[in-house]
Homo-oligomer: A and B are copies of this chain.
Amino acid sequence: MSCEELVSALPEGRVITEPATMESYRWDRAYDPDAGTPLAVVRAESTSDVQTVVRYAAERGIAVVPRGAGSGLSGGSTAVEGGIVLSMERMREITVDPLTRTAVVQPGAFNSEVKAAAAEHGLWYPPDPSSYDFCSIGGNIATNAGGLCCVKYGVTTDYVLGLNVVLADGRSVALGGPRLKDVAGLDLTKLFIGSEGTLGVVTEITLRLIPAQRPPTTLVATFKSLDASTEAILAISSSMRPSMLEFMDRPTINAVEDATRMGLDRDAAAMLVVQSDEPAEFAAKEIAQIEALCQEHQADEVFSTTDPDEGEAFVVARRMAIPAVEQKGSLLLEDVGVPLPKLGDLVRGIEQIAQRRDIVIAVIAHAGDGNTHPLLVFDPADLDQKERAHIAYGEVMDLAVELGGTITGEHGVGRLKRPWLAGYIGEDALDLNHRIKMALDPQNVLNPGAVLDPAVLKS
Protein backbone atom coordinates (compact mmCIF):
# COMPACT_ATOMS: atom_id res chain seq x y z
CA MET A 1 0.00 0.00 0.00
CA SER A 2 1.32 3.45 -0.80
CA CYS A 3 1.48 6.28 1.70
CA GLU A 4 1.20 9.11 -0.76
CA GLU A 5 -2.21 10.07 0.50
CA LEU A 6 -0.97 10.05 4.07
CA VAL A 7 2.02 12.20 3.18
CA SER A 8 -0.17 14.68 1.35
CA ALA A 9 -2.78 14.75 4.13
CA LEU A 10 -0.21 15.89 6.69
CA PRO A 11 1.99 19.00 6.92
CA GLU A 12 5.48 18.49 5.54
CA GLY A 13 8.09 16.50 7.41
CA ARG A 14 5.76 14.34 9.44
CA VAL A 15 5.96 11.03 7.60
CA ILE A 16 8.95 8.68 7.47
CA THR A 17 8.84 5.80 5.01
CA GLU A 18 12.54 5.15 4.55
CA PRO A 19 13.16 1.63 5.86
CA ALA A 20 16.48 2.45 7.56
CA THR A 21 14.99 5.35 9.49
CA MET A 22 11.89 3.38 10.40
CA GLU A 23 14.02 0.59 11.83
CA SER A 24 14.45 2.24 15.25
CA TYR A 25 10.68 2.69 15.54
CA ARG A 26 9.94 -1.02 15.28
CA TRP A 27 10.79 -1.87 18.86
CA ASP A 28 10.46 -0.54 22.34
CA ARG A 29 12.76 -1.73 25.13
CA ALA A 30 11.06 -5.13 25.16
CA TYR A 31 12.66 -5.96 21.77
CA ASP A 32 9.67 -8.05 20.76
CA PRO A 33 11.00 -10.65 18.29
CA ASP A 34 7.68 -10.53 16.44
CA ALA A 35 7.90 -6.83 15.54
CA GLY A 36 6.54 -6.07 12.08
CA THR A 37 7.71 -3.60 9.47
CA PRO A 38 5.48 -0.55 9.47
CA LEU A 39 4.05 1.10 6.41
CA ALA A 40 5.11 4.47 7.78
CA VAL A 41 6.20 6.30 10.90
CA VAL A 42 4.43 9.58 11.59
CA ARG A 43 5.91 12.10 13.98
CA ALA A 44 2.81 14.05 14.95
CA GLU A 45 3.13 17.66 16.03
CA SER A 46 -0.48 18.36 16.98
CA THR A 47 -3.80 16.81 17.92
CA SER A 48 -4.90 17.56 14.38
CA ASP A 49 -1.99 15.51 12.96
CA VAL A 50 -3.04 12.61 15.20
CA GLN A 51 -6.63 12.90 13.98
CA THR A 52 -5.48 12.83 10.36
CA VAL A 53 -3.44 9.69 10.96
CA VAL A 54 -6.19 7.87 12.84
CA ARG A 55 -8.82 8.79 10.23
CA TYR A 56 -6.50 7.66 7.43
CA ALA A 57 -5.93 4.36 9.20
CA ALA A 58 -9.57 3.84 10.18
CA GLU A 59 -10.76 4.35 6.61
CA ARG A 60 -8.31 1.74 5.37
CA GLY A 61 -8.37 -0.67 8.31
CA ILE A 62 -4.68 -0.08 9.03
CA ALA A 63 -3.20 -0.50 12.51
CA VAL A 64 -2.02 2.56 14.45
CA VAL A 65 0.61 1.92 17.13
CA PRO A 66 1.03 4.99 19.36
CA ARG A 67 4.55 5.48 20.63
CA GLY A 68 6.07 7.75 23.26
CA ALA A 69 9.77 7.49 23.96
CA GLY A 70 9.96 3.79 23.09
CA SER A 71 11.04 2.87 26.62
CA GLY A 72 8.20 0.40 27.20
CA LEU A 73 9.13 -2.95 28.67
CA SER A 74 6.34 -5.25 27.50
CA GLY A 75 6.06 -4.58 23.78
CA GLY A 76 3.18 -2.14 23.94
CA SER A 77 4.81 -0.14 21.14
CA THR A 78 6.00 -3.01 18.97
CA ALA A 79 5.41 -2.05 15.33
CA VAL A 80 2.65 -3.96 13.56
CA GLU A 81 3.32 -5.26 10.06
CA GLY A 82 1.91 -2.79 7.54
CA GLY A 83 0.66 -0.44 10.24
CA ILE A 84 1.52 3.12 11.15
CA VAL A 85 3.78 3.94 14.08
CA LEU A 86 2.41 7.19 15.51
CA SER A 87 5.28 8.78 17.41
CA MET A 88 4.58 11.57 19.88
CA GLU A 89 8.26 12.48 20.28
CA ARG A 90 7.73 15.97 18.86
CA MET A 91 4.73 16.82 21.06
CA ARG A 92 6.44 17.83 24.28
CA GLU A 93 5.13 21.20 25.41
CA ILE A 94 4.76 21.68 29.17
CA THR A 95 2.83 24.53 30.79
CA VAL A 96 2.80 24.75 34.57
CA ASP A 97 0.17 26.83 36.38
CA PRO A 98 1.48 27.41 39.90
CA LEU A 99 -1.78 29.08 40.98
CA THR A 100 -3.80 25.88 40.49
CA ARG A 101 -0.80 23.57 40.88
CA THR A 102 -1.51 21.86 37.60
CA ALA A 103 0.46 21.25 34.43
CA VAL A 104 -0.81 20.81 30.90
CA VAL A 105 1.58 18.49 29.12
CA GLN A 106 1.91 16.95 25.68
CA PRO A 107 2.47 13.20 25.67
CA GLY A 108 6.00 13.21 24.25
CA ALA A 109 7.45 15.22 27.13
CA PHE A 110 9.76 13.14 29.28
CA ASN A 111 8.78 12.43 32.86
CA SER A 112 11.98 14.18 33.97
CA GLU A 113 11.07 17.27 31.92
CA VAL A 114 7.72 17.48 33.67
CA LYS A 115 9.43 17.11 37.04
CA ALA A 116 11.91 19.86 36.12
CA ALA A 117 9.18 22.24 34.91
CA ALA A 118 7.22 21.68 38.12
CA ALA A 119 10.34 22.17 40.25
CA GLU A 120 10.82 25.65 38.76
CA HIS A 121 7.70 26.60 40.70
CA GLY A 122 8.57 24.68 43.86
CA LEU A 123 6.19 21.93 42.79
CA TRP A 124 6.53 18.20 42.29
CA TYR A 125 5.14 15.56 39.95
CA PRO A 126 5.73 12.42 42.06
CA PRO A 127 5.49 9.31 39.82
CA ASP A 128 9.07 8.25 39.12
CA PRO A 129 9.65 5.17 36.99
CA SER A 130 13.35 4.22 37.08
CA SER A 131 13.40 5.30 33.44
CA TYR A 132 12.15 8.79 34.33
CA ASP A 133 14.82 10.57 32.34
CA PHE A 134 14.06 8.72 29.14
CA CYS A 135 10.38 7.75 29.36
CA SER A 136 7.51 9.94 28.16
CA ILE A 137 4.49 11.08 30.10
CA GLY A 138 2.31 9.67 27.33
CA GLY A 139 3.87 6.26 27.90
CA ASN A 140 3.39 6.69 31.65
CA ILE A 141 -0.32 7.33 31.01
CA ALA A 142 -0.51 4.33 28.67
CA THR A 143 0.77 1.94 31.33
CA ASN A 144 -0.32 3.80 34.48
CA ALA A 145 3.37 3.80 35.37
CA GLY A 146 4.61 3.55 38.92
CA GLY A 147 8.08 4.03 40.31
CA LEU A 148 10.00 4.32 43.54
CA CYS A 149 8.09 6.98 45.49
CA CYS A 150 4.72 5.35 44.72
CA VAL A 151 4.81 3.43 47.99
CA LYS A 152 3.86 6.71 49.67
CA TYR A 153 2.70 8.92 46.80
CA GLY A 154 0.72 6.67 44.47
CA VAL A 155 0.98 5.99 40.77
CA THR A 156 0.34 7.93 37.56
CA THR A 157 -3.47 7.72 37.66
CA ASP A 158 -3.46 9.47 41.03
CA TYR A 159 -2.03 12.62 39.39
CA VAL A 160 -4.06 12.86 36.19
CA LEU A 161 -6.98 15.28 36.19
CA GLY A 162 -7.78 15.27 32.50
CA LEU A 163 -6.85 13.97 29.07
CA ASN A 164 -7.40 14.94 25.49
CA VAL A 165 -7.87 11.78 23.49
CA VAL A 166 -8.22 11.08 19.79
CA LEU A 167 -10.73 8.25 19.43
CA ALA A 168 -10.64 5.36 16.97
CA ASP A 169 -12.84 7.26 14.50
CA GLY A 170 -10.61 10.34 14.62
CA ARG A 171 -12.77 12.48 16.89
CA SER A 172 -10.86 14.46 19.52
CA VAL A 173 -12.47 14.51 22.94
CA ALA A 174 -11.57 16.31 26.16
CA LEU A 175 -12.06 14.22 29.31
CA GLY A 176 -11.83 15.68 32.82
CA GLY A 177 -9.76 18.83 33.18
CA PRO A 178 -8.32 21.17 35.77
CA ARG A 179 -11.03 20.46 38.37
CA LEU A 180 -9.93 18.75 41.56
CA LYS A 181 -13.25 16.95 42.02
CA ASP A 182 -15.48 15.96 39.13
CA VAL A 183 -17.94 13.06 39.00
CA ALA A 184 -20.08 13.99 35.99
CA GLY A 185 -20.57 10.78 34.01
CA LEU A 186 -18.32 7.73 33.89
CA ASP A 187 -14.70 8.25 34.93
CA LEU A 188 -13.40 8.04 31.37
CA THR A 189 -10.12 9.72 32.24
CA LYS A 190 -9.24 6.83 34.54
CA LEU A 191 -10.40 4.29 31.95
CA PHE A 192 -7.99 5.60 29.32
CA ILE A 193 -5.10 5.60 31.83
CA GLY A 194 -3.45 2.20 31.60
CA SER A 195 -5.27 1.28 28.38
CA GLU A 196 -1.93 1.03 26.52
CA GLY A 197 -3.07 2.92 23.46
CA THR A 198 -5.87 0.46 22.71
CA LEU A 199 -8.80 2.84 23.25
CA GLY A 200 -7.50 6.18 22.00
CA VAL A 201 -4.41 8.28 21.44
CA VAL A 202 -3.70 10.73 24.25
CA THR A 203 -2.61 14.12 22.89
CA GLU A 204 -2.73 16.29 26.02
CA ILE A 205 -2.65 15.62 29.75
CA THR A 206 -3.64 17.77 32.72
CA LEU A 207 -1.58 16.79 35.74
CA ARG A 208 -2.01 17.61 39.40
CA LEU A 209 1.19 18.75 41.13
CA ILE A 210 1.99 18.90 44.83
CA PRO A 211 4.51 20.92 46.85
CA ALA A 212 8.14 19.89 46.47
CA GLN A 213 9.25 16.87 48.46
CA ARG A 214 11.41 17.50 51.51
CA PRO A 215 15.03 16.29 51.21
CA PRO A 216 14.93 12.64 52.27
CA THR A 217 16.86 10.73 54.88
CA THR A 218 18.18 7.47 53.46
CA LEU A 219 18.81 4.10 55.06
CA VAL A 220 20.66 1.21 53.44
CA ALA A 221 20.54 -2.25 55.02
CA THR A 222 22.08 -5.51 53.89
CA PHE A 223 20.95 -8.99 54.91
CA LYS A 224 22.70 -12.36 54.82
CA SER A 225 19.33 -14.10 54.55
CA LEU A 226 16.77 -13.48 51.81
CA ASP A 227 13.91 -14.51 54.12
CA ALA A 228 15.06 -12.11 56.81
CA SER A 229 15.06 -9.27 54.29
CA THR A 230 11.50 -9.91 53.10
CA GLU A 231 10.32 -10.26 56.69
CA ALA A 232 11.94 -6.90 57.43
CA ILE A 233 10.08 -5.41 54.46
CA LEU A 234 6.75 -6.63 55.83
CA ALA A 235 7.57 -5.33 59.30
CA ILE A 236 8.46 -1.92 57.88
CA SER A 237 5.55 -1.62 55.46
CA SER A 238 2.96 -2.63 58.04
CA SER A 239 4.09 -0.17 60.70
CA MET A 240 5.85 2.77 59.00
CA ARG A 241 5.27 4.97 55.96
CA PRO A 242 8.58 5.36 54.12
CA SER A 243 8.74 7.42 50.92
CA MET A 244 10.83 4.68 49.30
CA LEU A 245 11.34 1.00 50.11
CA GLU A 246 13.45 -0.72 47.47
CA PHE A 247 14.99 -4.17 47.31
CA MET A 248 17.92 -5.69 45.38
CA ASP A 249 19.00 -9.32 45.58
CA ARG A 250 22.53 -10.73 45.34
CA PRO A 251 22.74 -11.07 41.53
CA THR A 252 21.56 -7.47 41.22
CA ILE A 253 23.97 -6.16 43.87
CA ASN A 254 26.82 -7.86 42.05
CA ALA A 255 25.82 -6.56 38.64
CA VAL A 256 25.54 -3.01 40.00
CA GLU A 257 28.86 -3.40 41.82
CA ASP A 258 30.49 -4.64 38.60
CA ALA A 259 29.22 -1.51 36.86
CA THR A 260 29.91 1.04 39.60
CA ARG A 261 32.64 -0.27 41.95
CA MET A 262 30.92 1.70 44.67
CA GLY A 263 31.74 -0.86 47.33
CA LEU A 264 28.46 -2.75 47.73
CA ASP A 265 28.60 -5.97 49.76
CA ARG A 266 28.82 -8.71 47.13
CA ASP A 267 28.04 -11.38 49.71
CA ALA A 268 24.77 -9.87 50.88
CA ALA A 269 21.66 -11.88 50.01
CA ALA A 270 19.65 -8.69 49.81
CA MET A 271 19.93 -4.95 50.19
CA LEU A 272 17.18 -2.50 51.06
CA VAL A 273 17.20 1.21 50.22
CA VAL A 274 14.67 3.08 52.35
CA GLN A 275 13.86 6.77 52.54
CA SER A 276 11.80 9.01 54.78
CA ASP A 277 10.78 12.48 53.63
CA GLU A 278 9.10 13.59 56.85
CA PRO A 279 10.31 16.82 58.47
CA ALA A 280 13.89 16.32 59.73
CA GLU A 281 13.15 15.40 63.34
CA PHE A 282 10.38 13.00 62.31
CA ALA A 283 12.45 11.51 59.52
CA ALA A 284 15.19 10.80 62.04
CA LYS A 285 12.65 9.07 64.27
CA GLU A 286 11.14 7.11 61.37
CA ILE A 287 14.55 6.02 60.07
CA ALA A 288 15.64 5.01 63.61
CA GLN A 289 12.53 2.83 63.92
CA ILE A 290 13.16 1.31 60.51
CA GLU A 291 16.77 0.66 61.52
CA ALA A 292 15.55 -1.11 64.66
CA LEU A 293 13.19 -3.25 62.56
CA CYS A 294 16.08 -4.17 60.25
CA GLN A 295 18.22 -5.11 63.25
CA GLU A 296 15.38 -7.20 64.66
CA HIS A 297 15.37 -9.07 61.38
CA GLN A 298 19.06 -9.90 61.42
CA ALA A 299 20.31 -7.13 59.16
CA ASP A 300 24.00 -7.48 58.52
CA GLU A 301 24.93 -3.83 58.07
CA VAL A 302 22.73 -0.77 58.39
CA PHE A 303 23.80 2.68 57.31
CA SER A 304 21.81 5.89 57.22
CA THR A 305 22.43 9.43 56.05
CA THR A 306 20.63 12.75 56.07
CA ASP A 307 22.85 13.95 53.22
CA PRO A 308 20.53 13.85 50.19
CA ASP A 309 23.44 13.43 47.75
CA GLU A 310 24.91 10.52 49.67
CA GLY A 311 21.45 8.96 49.83
CA GLU A 312 20.87 9.59 46.14
CA ALA A 313 23.97 7.56 45.28
CA PHE A 314 22.20 4.45 46.59
CA VAL A 315 19.00 5.34 44.77
CA VAL A 316 21.01 5.76 41.56
CA ALA A 317 22.55 2.34 42.22
CA ARG A 318 19.04 0.93 42.50
CA ARG A 319 17.84 2.74 39.37
CA MET A 320 20.77 1.50 37.31
CA ALA A 321 20.06 -2.11 38.20
CA ILE A 322 18.39 -2.84 34.86
CA PRO A 323 21.19 -1.42 32.69
CA ALA A 324 23.77 -3.08 34.96
CA VAL A 325 22.13 -6.50 34.66
CA GLU A 326 21.71 -5.90 30.91
CA GLN A 327 25.51 -6.02 30.68
CA LYS A 328 25.31 -9.71 31.59
CA GLY A 329 23.19 -10.77 28.64
CA SER A 330 19.81 -10.29 27.01
CA LEU A 331 16.96 -9.70 29.42
CA LEU A 332 13.40 -10.80 29.84
CA LEU A 333 12.03 -8.20 32.17
CA GLU A 334 9.37 -9.30 34.60
CA ASP A 335 6.99 -7.07 36.56
CA VAL A 336 5.05 -9.30 38.92
CA GLY A 337 3.54 -8.11 42.19
CA VAL A 338 2.00 -9.81 45.18
CA PRO A 339 0.30 -8.78 48.42
CA LEU A 340 3.15 -7.99 50.81
CA PRO A 341 2.83 -11.03 53.08
CA LYS A 342 3.60 -13.16 50.00
CA LEU A 343 6.72 -11.27 48.93
CA GLY A 344 9.03 -13.78 50.63
CA ASP A 345 7.30 -16.70 48.91
CA LEU A 346 7.58 -14.92 45.58
CA VAL A 347 11.26 -14.10 45.91
CA ARG A 348 12.13 -17.57 47.14
CA GLY A 349 10.01 -19.17 44.42
CA ILE A 350 11.80 -17.13 41.78
CA GLU A 351 15.13 -18.36 43.15
CA GLN A 352 13.87 -21.91 42.74
CA ILE A 353 12.74 -21.26 39.17
CA ALA A 354 16.19 -19.84 38.38
CA GLN A 355 17.82 -22.97 39.78
CA ARG A 356 15.42 -25.34 38.06
CA ARG A 357 15.81 -23.65 34.68
CA ASP A 358 19.53 -23.00 35.22
CA ILE A 359 19.44 -19.33 34.36
CA VAL A 360 20.31 -16.16 36.24
CA ILE A 361 17.33 -14.18 37.57
CA ALA A 362 18.28 -10.91 39.25
CA VAL A 363 15.46 -9.50 41.37
CA ILE A 364 14.85 -5.86 42.12
CA ALA A 365 11.64 -4.72 43.73
CA HIS A 366 9.59 -1.72 44.70
CA ALA A 367 9.34 -3.78 47.83
CA GLY A 368 6.91 -1.55 49.70
CA ASP A 369 4.36 -2.10 46.93
CA GLY A 370 5.07 -5.83 46.64
CA ASN A 371 6.04 -5.08 43.03
CA THR A 372 9.09 -7.00 41.81
CA HIS A 373 11.14 -6.89 38.62
CA PRO A 374 12.82 -10.25 38.16
CA LEU A 375 15.36 -9.78 35.35
CA LEU A 376 15.84 -13.03 33.46
CA VAL A 377 19.29 -13.08 31.86
CA PHE A 378 20.10 -15.19 28.84
CA ASP A 379 22.62 -15.45 26.04
CA PRO A 380 20.63 -14.90 22.83
CA ALA A 381 23.10 -17.11 20.96
CA ASP A 382 22.39 -20.02 23.30
CA LEU A 383 19.04 -21.16 21.97
CA ASP A 384 18.48 -23.72 24.67
CA GLN A 385 19.13 -21.16 27.40
CA LYS A 386 16.92 -18.68 25.62
CA GLU A 387 14.09 -21.20 25.58
CA ARG A 388 14.58 -21.97 29.28
CA ALA A 389 14.44 -18.24 30.01
CA HIS A 390 11.15 -17.96 28.15
CA ILE A 391 9.74 -20.89 30.08
CA ALA A 392 10.89 -19.32 33.34
CA TYR A 393 9.30 -16.01 32.31
CA GLY A 394 5.90 -17.70 32.24
CA GLU A 395 6.60 -19.65 35.41
CA VAL A 396 7.34 -16.46 37.31
CA MET A 397 3.93 -15.09 36.28
CA ASP A 398 2.21 -18.35 37.15
CA LEU A 399 3.86 -18.24 40.58
CA ALA A 400 2.76 -14.66 41.17
CA VAL A 401 -0.84 -15.45 40.25
CA GLU A 402 -0.76 -18.52 42.50
CA LEU A 403 0.32 -16.26 45.37
CA GLY A 404 -2.59 -13.87 44.74
CA GLY A 405 -0.45 -11.50 42.74
CA THR A 406 -0.52 -9.78 39.36
CA ILE A 407 1.32 -10.50 36.12
CA THR A 408 2.15 -6.81 35.76
CA GLY A 409 2.35 -4.14 38.42
CA GLU A 410 3.44 -1.14 36.35
CA HIS A 411 4.86 -2.07 32.94
CA GLY A 412 1.65 -3.11 31.24
CA VAL A 413 0.59 -6.24 29.38
CA GLY A 414 1.77 -5.06 25.99
CA ARG A 415 2.32 -7.93 23.59
CA LEU A 416 4.74 -10.02 25.65
CA LYS A 417 2.36 -10.71 28.55
CA ARG A 418 -0.86 -11.01 26.57
CA PRO A 419 -0.93 -14.83 26.75
CA TRP A 420 -1.05 -14.63 30.56
CA LEU A 421 -3.80 -12.01 30.91
CA ALA A 422 -6.84 -14.29 30.81
CA GLY A 423 -5.31 -16.69 33.32
CA TYR A 424 -4.81 -13.84 35.73
CA ILE A 425 -7.91 -11.66 35.46
CA GLY A 426 -10.25 -14.48 34.49
CA GLU A 427 -12.65 -14.91 31.59
CA ASP A 428 -15.34 -12.59 32.95
CA ALA A 429 -13.01 -9.62 33.49
CA LEU A 430 -11.43 -10.33 30.10
CA ASP A 431 -14.90 -10.26 28.57
CA LEU A 432 -15.42 -6.79 30.06
CA ASN A 433 -12.12 -5.69 28.49
CA HIS A 434 -13.27 -7.03 25.13
CA ARG A 435 -16.67 -5.37 25.36
CA ILE A 436 -15.19 -1.99 26.12
CA LYS A 437 -12.56 -2.30 23.40
CA MET A 438 -15.23 -3.29 20.86
CA ALA A 439 -17.48 -0.44 21.97
CA LEU A 440 -14.72 2.14 21.52
CA ASP A 441 -12.66 0.68 18.68
CA PRO A 442 -14.82 -1.84 16.82
CA GLN A 443 -12.36 -2.06 13.90
CA ASN A 444 -9.43 -2.71 16.24
CA VAL A 445 -7.40 0.04 14.61
CA LEU A 446 -5.68 1.22 17.80
CA ASN A 447 -2.65 -0.80 18.88
CA PRO A 448 -4.02 -4.16 17.74
CA GLY A 449 -2.31 -7.08 19.40
CA ALA A 450 -1.48 -5.14 22.55
CA VAL A 451 -3.23 -6.36 25.72
CA LEU A 452 -6.05 -8.17 23.89
CA ASP A 453 -5.93 -10.95 21.32
CA PRO A 454 -7.10 -9.66 17.91
CA ALA A 455 -8.45 -13.10 17.02
CA VAL A 456 -10.73 -13.13 20.05
CA LEU A 457 -11.89 -9.57 19.38
CA LYS A 458 -13.02 -10.52 15.89
CA SER A 459 -14.98 -13.52 17.07
Contacts and interface: CB of A to CB of B under 8 A. Distances in A.
Interface of A: 98-101, 143-144, 146, 150-151, 154-155, 157-158, 167, 171-175, 177-188, 190-191, 193-195, 199, 210-211, 234, 237-238, 241, 278-279, 281-282, 337-341, 366, 368-371, 404-413, 417, 421, 424-426, 428-430, 432-433, 435-440, 451
A186 B411 contact: no
A210 B237 CA distance: 11
A177 B404 CA distance: 9
Contacts of A340: 99-100, 180
A436 B433 contact: no
A433 B171 contact: no
Given A188-B433, A428-B171, A339 B178 contact: yes
Copies assembled: 2
Nearest to A144: B183
B186 A195 contact: yes
A438 B439 contact: yes
Nearest to A428: B173
Contacts of A157: 187, 190
A340 B172 CA distance: 26
Nearest to A147: B181
A429 B181 contact: no
Nearest to A409: B181
A114 to B, nearest CB: 19
Contact of A194 (B100, B144, B183, B440): B183
Given A173-B426, A238-B98, A183 B411 contact: yes
Q: Nearest 4 pairs between A and B by C-beta?
A: A190-B190, A181-B409, A439-B439, A435-B439
Most buried by B among A186, A278, A435, A436: A186
B181 A425 contact: no
Nearest to A437: B186
Contacts of A410: 181, 183
A200 to B, nearest CB: 9
A28 to B, nearest CB: 16
A178 B179 CA distance: 29
A157 B101 CA distance: 20
A457 to B, nearest CB: 13
B409 A179 contact: yes
Contacts of A150: 180-181
Contacts of A370: 179-181
A408 to B, nearest CB: 5
A117 to B, nearest CB: 17
A197 to B, nearest CB: 12
B187 A193 contact: yes
Contacts of A282: 279
A338 B143 CA distance: 29
Contacts of A172: 428
A184 B371 contact: no
A53 B224 CA distance: 56
